[in-house]
Amino acid sequence: MSTTLSTPRAAKPNEDADALIERFGSTRKSRFTRHVILCAIGLVMMYPLLWLVSSSLKPNGLIFSDLSLWPAEWHPSNYADGWTALEYDFGIYFSNSIVIVVLSIVGNLFSCSLAAYGFARLNFTGRKLFFALMLGTMMLPGHVLLIPQYILFAKLGWLNTYYPLLVPNFLATNAFYIFLMVQFMRSLPQELDDAARIDGCGPFRTFWSIILPLCRPAFATTAIFTFISVWNEFFGPLLYLTDPELYTVPLALRQFIDSEGQSQWGQMFAMSVLSLAPIIGFFIAGQKYLVKGIATTGLK
Amino acid sequence: MRKDRAGYLFLLPWFIGMLFTIVPFFASLYLAFTDYNLLNAPVWIGFENFADMFRDPVLLKSLQVTFVYTFVSVPLSLAAALGVAMLLNRGIRGLPWYRAVFYLPSLLGASVAVVLLWRYVFGFDGIVNAFLGWFGIEAISWTSDPDYALTTLIILHIWTFGSPMVIFLAGLRQIPVMYYEAAAVDGASKWRRFRSITLPLLSPIIFFNLIQSLIASFQTFTQGFVMNNGGGGPANSTLFYNLYLYQQGFNQFNMGYASAMAWTLLVIIAVFTAITFFTAKYWVNYDS
């Protein structure tokens, strides 16, 4: 009795928890009130995004005078004009961003899964120490490393290339993803590894043929998180990329304020919508993995 | 040993990556005590950079901006996250929809597109002023008035409460329902159930969210940079500490000074994290 009471967080989430809470917690009226409150908050939160989409379809003159979300006058050419409004067309910026994102995902999956398997499944001298070090880097604010890293990359001749943005991802520098995968791998039964070893598999074979295929959910979470953070990333590209031909989408978007004298709002909003669309798409496709990933990191 | 070798091989990329972390970590500590402009070799100047920081009014301003931003927006966004999570927790229909709507902004909040959008939502002719106009409130120049510019970014931060909310939601689901049942049978009020069951059992997660948000918030950069075109204006009212660090390091090439700033922020973050950790024993309940 006392053990079950004293470890509430280990208890299994109750299947009919909701029904039970309903029974003593809320009446029909209070449920209705809750829906009203939640819808109101949701509407306020979504409104700026809806306004963005609507404004991207309005002629410049109407954006700030016509407040209705439904454009009184449609102006879809904002998209075509915005696409070519800057020095290079947005096709270049989008393909730059896509190249960086795809390679970052590959790098994180490759290097973090190797490290995670080492931490989760193999025994070697100093493992605990290295694991603690890895967790420590998760808390370390990146700006402390910024200046020496910049100097180092400059000395390597990597300024104005994608190397400073990509190479760290191939070197397992995202401790968060390692941690996520370690947690996942630890939940897999150890008997799998033992059976593989008895059948004559070495650690690499076990990793490749047994563990990797089972880790797909953790990889999906890592890939989606990497996608969103790299796609949004502004600071790294701002620091390392000076040639506009290499610009990513966020750097390009910022040029709208620099170059257009702040008047081509419709075009700027149209390109903003396009830059957010992939994130929203990935969010809808991978919501399950995102919610799970973020929830497990908080609970462990 | 043979067993060791496999482990080290798997960790090889990570070991190399750690070199890219550990060496810069100590290099920036060294640079903090030097005068260095990238062109000439670093010159050791002792604590001069740190002494200069105390006399630099812009730096003190940037510290103030960052503190105000952090200590206003972190508690407000965590309170919003917890409040909405509790509304969602009690067996509500359409939970996946609500969760998606509240979570999505937290994925977009750091993007240039949304910060740009914020400039115009809070623009003089923007929808916020239009809305306030219905209540007869005069238009405010949110983005160009030093008194209000930071407020718009605090609101942007609160807008992204979705990611701590998802963590709270997962935590709330693990509190056994029987506790609430027992309390209800004993006649405990809603507020009493919240105070005596929800808060204590959720405290480790509040603690986790608090540390995460504090660390992230102290390092805010993009919002300040994009909002006012890299300048931190109006009148430095959105000059975040890291934005000023960037200006010192990469516009003026005061690499030594910027390193000193970086280490000072690291110490500040460490102090606040330590305070949170040490006070944790009074308010965080790890089941004994």
Q: Which of A11, A151, A272 sits opposite B176 (nearest CB)?
A: A11
pLDDT for residue A10 is more than 50: no
Give the per-residue pLDDT at B231.
Answer: 79
Average per-residue pLDDT for chain A: 85
**Chain B residue closest in CA terms to A168:** B17
Give the per-residue pLDDT at A262.
Answer: 57
pLDDT for residue A299 is more than 70: no
- Chain centroid to CA B242: how far? 12
d(CA A81, CA B42) in angstroms, rounded, equals: 49
Give the per-residue pLDDT at A27.
Answer: 67
Give the per-residue pLDDT at A21.
Answer: 52
d(CA B152, CA B238) in angstroms, rounded, equals: 10
Collapsed DSSP state (helix, strand, coil) of residue B35: strand
What the block records as the tokens of B17 is 């990556």
Collapsed DSSP state (helix, strand, coil) of residue B44: strand
Q: Give the pLDDT mean for A81-92.
A: 90
Element (H, E) at B166: helix B162-173
What the block records as the tokens of B58 is 């812009």
Beta bridge partners, B43, equal B35
Give the per-residue pLDDT at B258.
Answer: 96
Residues of B in contact with A110 (CB under 8 A): 13
d(CA A67, CA B123) in angstroms, rounded, equals: 13
Angle between helices B199-218 and B255-283 (to 10 degrees): 170
The DSSP output letter for B139 is P
pLDDT tens per residue across span A254-288: 888 765 455 788 899 999 999 999 999 988 888 88
Give the per-residue pLDDT at A291.
Answer: 78
Total CB pairs under 8 A between chain A and B: 294
What the block records as the tokens of B228 is 């006012």
Give the per-residue pLDDT at B1.
Answer: 59
DSSP string covering chain A:
-HHHHH-GGGSPPPTTHHHHHHHHH--HHHHHHHHHHHHHHHHHHHHHHHHHHHHTTS-HHHHTT---SS-SS--THHHHHHHTSSSS-HHHHHHHHHHHHHHHHHHHHHHHHHHHHHHHH---TTHHHHHHHHHHHHHS-THHHHHHHHHHHHHTT-TTSSHHHHHHHHTT--HHHHHHHHHHHHTS-HHHHHHHHHTT--HHHIIIIIIHHHTHHHHHHHHHHHHHHHHH--HHHHHH--SGGG--HHHHHHHHHHHSTT--HHHHHHHHHHHHHHHHHHHHHHHHHHHHHHHHHHH-
d(CA A183, CA A193) in angstroms, rounded, equals: 16
Residue B255 · residue A136 · CB < 8 Å: no
Residues contacting residue B83 through CB under 8 Å, at least 6 positions apart: none
Residue B177 · residue A14 · CB < 8 Å: yes
Asked if the Cβ–Cβ distance from B6 to A110 is below 8 Å, we say no
Q: What single-letter amino acid sits at B81? A: A
Asked if the Cβ–Cβ distance from A171 to B13 is below 8 Å, we say yes
Residues of A in contact with B20 (CB under 8 A): 145, 149, 152, 168, 171, 173
pLDDT tens per residue across span A138-167: 888 888 999 999 999 999 999 999 999 999
pLDDT tens per residue across span A187-244: 888 888 889 989 888 889 999 999 999 999 899 989 999 999 999 999 999 999 999 9
pLDDT for residue A11 is more than 70: no
Give the per-residue pLDDT at A1.
Answer: 30
Architecture of domain A90-299: Orthogonal Bundle (1.10)
pLDDT for residue A18 is more than 60: no
d(CA A293, CA A297) in angstroms, rounded, equals: 6
Residues of B in contact with A125 (CB under 8 A): 1, 4
Give the per-residue pLDDT at B62.
Answer: 96
d(CA B88, CA B179) in angstroms, rounded, equals: 19
User: The pTM is what?
Assistant: 0.89
Best to test chain B binding among A108, A143, A163, A296 (most B CBs inside 10 Å): A143
Q: What single-letter amino acid sits at B245? A: L
Distances, alpha carbon B212 to alpha carbons A144, B10, B36, B157, B279, in Å:
17, 29, 33, 14, 16
Ranges of chain B with pLDDT below 70: 1-2, 287-288
Residue matched to tokens 């791998």: A185
d(CA B28, CA A152) in angstroms, rounded, equals: 12
Asked if the Cβ–Cβ distance from B117 to A52 is below 8 Å, we say yes
pLDDT tens per residue across span A93-143: 999 999 999 999 999 999 999 999 999 999 899 999 999 999 989 888 888
Give the domain ranges of chain A. 13-77, 90-299
Q: Give the pLDDT mean for A167-194.
A: 91
CATH number for the domain running over B56-283: 1.10.3720.10
